[in-house]
Structures are given as structure tokens and as C-alpha cells.
Chain A
Amino acid sequence: MSASTSLKTPRTALELQRIVVSKLGWMGCGIALLLVIAPLLDIVGVVTINGLSAFSVQLFTKNTGGTTNGLLNAMEGTVVITLFAMLIAVPIGIGAGIHLSEYGRDRLSSTIRFLSDVLTGTPSIVLGYFSFVVFIIGFGWGFSLAAAAITLAILIVPYLARITELALQQVPNSMREAAYALGATDSKVVFKVVLPAASAGVITGTLLGLAISVGETAPLIYTAGWSDFTWTGHFTHSPVAYLTYVIWTFIDQPDAHSHALAYAAAFFVMLVVLAINISVRLVVKRQKFA
């Protein structure tokens, strides 16, 4: 009994102060976490509600011009630009990743690694302006699909290369040795053994690249231009529409219908980007790729 009473001595002022500071500290941290997550939920909420209320069949059948308009040209443009950007970026990015991972011990590779990090950190508007100077003015292509796709490809390649490299490096060396022991050549080892084993990581990189190219705006303003019609089928001298441009410009228009189109476009872009990122993260967690 005496022991328990002696343990219950009143707390000193210093102890009280420490406890209060700790409680306040935890509260601060909790509020901070809320303040970080709440805007995301609000963004998703606002865009989803306004986007869904703007939903109609017209969105998929009409172009942006005219009075009863939709988003057909913008959606088609985004799909086409992304498709061609991926066609350019995927072979180069995966090739660079293979080189970095399998033959990447020399000075050239560490230079490539450093430069690709620099390229990742370069603001996309700088890349966009570069393309404007080179393709639009230099080559005289005009605002065009080719310029837009190449710009996005330059943007995606470094991501793709680094993710591919990481994925390939996680393939155990014993698999390579086993393949070599069976008499496989260098290229057979890489393409028939290592690449299939790392396919999940490579696909992850490709999907993230896809998400980036769907969500980008700044580099496209200076390269794709804008068109109220669907893609003409020409690679140069014909501007292309894309969804993010609709978000950027239509929200500044005075009429409610333009606002609705902007929200609908934002909804589609966000849906694609979040769906890709969430599914990639879930799959990655399960497969222990990091």
C-alpha cells in the first residue's frame, strides 16, 4: 500500500508542461495530416460531382465547337497523342533501362543515369518550349501531332528507363547464370529470361508513363496547339485537341456550359490518372516491387 501511494506523488510543473506539449504536438501532427489529405478528397469530390452532372451522350459524339458541343475531338486527340508518345517512348525507355541494368557499370552509364535524373527534374514547360523552337519554328512543322508526341516521349523516357532498370536489377543473378550455362547468347538472356521475369515492373513503368502523358498540359500548349475538330490524320501542319487544354481554357469562359465541359474533361483525366496510379500501387505492394 505504501508503495502505491508513494508512486502517486503529484506531478511537477515540468512534467505537466511536458505532457501538455506532447498532447499539443500530436494534435498539430493530426491536423497537418488532415490538411494534406482533405484537399485531395475535396478535389476528387468537386471534380467528380461537377463532372458527372455534366455527363451526357453528346460528350462522346460532338466536337467542342458550336453550341451543342461535346468533347469528342479532345478525347480523340488525347488518345492519339498518348498512343504515339508511348510508341516512341516505350522502345527507347526500355532499351535504355536494359542497357543501364545489364551493361551499366561503365562511366557512360553513370553519365546517362545522372543526365536522366536531370531530365526528370527539368520543368516540362522548358521541354515544351524547346520543342516549339526546334520542331515548330526550326523544322517548320507547325502545331502538330508529331511535335506533341515527341515532346511527351522525351518527358516519359527517363522515368521509364529508371523503373525498367530497377525492375531488371531485382531479377536474381542466378537466373542469368543458369541461362548462360544453357548456352544462351547475351541477347537471348536479356530478352527471353530477364525481361519476362521483370515484366511486371516494366509494365508498371509503362502505365505510369501513360498517366503522365494523359495529365500533362504545359508541354502540349507549345506543341499540339488546339483544334475544334478531330484529328485530320496528318502528323505535321495540323494542330490537335487534347483534354487538359479544355480544363485550362474553358474554365475561364463566362458560360456555364463551358465550365461543365471543363469539369467533364477534368473528371476523365483524373479518372485515368488516379485509376492507373492506384492499381499500380496495389499490384506493386502485392508483388514487392519497389
Chain B
Amino acid sequence: MSLPTGDPASVSALGGALLTQSGRLADLVTDLGASASRARRRSLDDATGHELLLLERAATELDRVGSLLQAWTATAVEAAARARQLAPDLARADLVVDGQLVVESSGPSRVDPETRARERQRLQELLNRVTMVRARELARLGRELRHSHDALAAVAADARAGRSRGS
């Protein structure tokens, strides 16, 4: 049996890329910050303060979502592994998983009906735990993606409008 895990490797690749990009943006922020400090010491205008703040905001979002995607990958892989561990017990009781439900496989079975019903209930509870964790993490990922989407839209708008802080 298997849960719909998507392609964890592809999600992990994106998460890793975002963390790398966030790190590079942080380096640029450091470079611009050092220049701004030198300018202030020489009583010059800070010509890059606006850019620095916006790069910093973007770096924060890329880092946040990159970390979340890495965490989601771990959750998805673990959930799939735990679901696979149920397979031998499911097979012994002539049961299968249909979506998120443990059901009797079609056709006659030699398994004692009472044992089968008991196993069905037990395995359903185990499967529920796996799917619940996965659903909770998916919901969290969704919430964070919405929030970060809005934050990045504000960064883009501020960059194009010449402002450094969202309203």
C-alpha cells in the first residue's frame, strides 16, 4: 500500500535551492550593509538602504519556505514508510487500503471474519495516525505558503514602487 506522497525528491530539491538562494541573498545584504557603514563613516548618503531592506525581506521568505519544504519532505517520506509497514498485516487479513480507508479485499477470504474485522479496525487506527500527521503538516505548509506569498508580493510591489517597507 502507499499514500500519495508526490515526488519528495523534487520538493527537497526546491527546498534546498531556496535555502541556497536565501544564503546568497543574506551575503548580498551583508555586502550592502558593509558599504552602507563605510558610507556613514565618511558622512556620505547611504545609497543602498532601500535595496538592503528588501533583499533582507526576500531572504527571510526564501529561508522560511525552503526550511518548510525540507521538513515536509521528511514528513512525506516518513509517512510513506510507516504506511508501507502496515502492508504485511493488511495482506495477512486480506485487507487493502482504498484512499485513506482500510477495506476488505474483493473475493472470498480464508481469514476468520471476526479476526478480519478486528484487524481492520486496528489497522485503520494505525493508518489514521499516519494520515493525520501528514494532513496536519500539509495544512501548515498551505498556511505558510499563503502567508509567504503575500509577503513576497509586498516585496515585489515595494521594489517596483521604490519603497523599502510594506504598508
Q: Do A and B bind each other?
A: no
* A contact residues vs B (CB 8 Å cutoff): none
Residues on B lying within 8 angstroms of A by beta carbon are: none
